[in-house]
Structure 1
Amino acid sequence: MQFDFNSTEPLYLQVAEQIEEAIFTNSFEEGTQVPSTTEISKQFHINPATVLKGMNILVTHHFLEKRRGLGMFVAAGAYARIREKRQSEFYDDYVVNLVKEAQKLSLSKTAILEMIKRGFENGQTN
């Protein structure tokens, strides 16, 4: 995990994003325990309440679950929920804006699809 202490983004959101990313990339697999609030706060010199606030966001979204006396664990189905959330954000952040800009440029649906195909062909790394 890496935190930008000079960012305008609050640290608790950075904590939530970093743990979410770790779940999405399978660094933290479903059912496994994530580092404790104390571990993260000591390692990165962050207030434990700030770390807990970030973790509680993930609990609210059902990405993490609290197990009394044991700590925080990656919830069953967390990966699928994160993927679904990110797909929705991708649509809202990119597709909607792409269509708006395409309409301003008088690009047809066919022209946009051709550009996307070309982008996949030219940018494919897998």
Structure 2
Amino acid sequence: MDDARPLFLQIAEQIEDSIIDGSLPEETRAPSTNELAAFHRINPATAANGINKLVADGLLYKRRGVGMFVKAGARQELVERRREAFGRTFIAPLLAEARRLEMDAEDLKKMIDTWRDDL
């Protein structure tokens, strides 16, 4: 927890990452606000804000007396949201710059292949 974004957003994103990578499968219990607060050494209200964001986003739901659970379909929903965000954040500017440089799809493919081989 060291980036400039609010802590509750970082908490929410960490849980989202766990849903995407499968370490927090659908229909399993999510960490409680107290567990998150103790682990990250933050105020429980801050952890609750992160959890509440995920509830508002339709990714978690509450089972009365048991806790918060990952909604069925949450992983696919997150993957789709992140792909859309990836396109807006990275692909759209890349294509705009490629147009300015008079590059076509084949030029971009060659460049991607070259860089991938260098990794």
TM-score normalised per structure 1 = 0.86
Q: Which runs of 5+ in 2 are unaligned?
A: none
Which residue number in structure 2 is paired with residue 71 of structure 1? 67
**Whole-Å Cα distance in 1 between the matches of residues 64 and 25 of structure 2?**
20
Tell me whether 1:93 sits opposite 2:92 in the alignment.
no
For 2:5, which of 6, 9, 16 is the aligned residue? 9
**Whole-Å Cα distance in 1 between the matches of residues 65 and 40 of structure 2?**
23
Which residue number in structure 2 is paired with residue 84 of structure 1? 80
Tell me whether 1:28 sits opposite 2:21 in the alignment.
no
**Whole-Å Cα distance in 2 between the matches of residues 80 and 35 of structure 1?**
20
Tell me whether 1:49 sits opposite 2:52 in the alignment.
no
How many positions carry a matched residue from both structures? 119
Instruction: State the identity as a percent.
Output: 40
Amino acid in structure 2 at the alignment position of 1:97: P
**Whole-Å Cα distance in 1 between the matches of residues 112 and 21 of structure 2?**
25
Q: Which runs of 5+ in 1 are unaligned?
A: none
Moved over 4 A (4+): none
C-alpha RMSD over aligned residues: 1.5
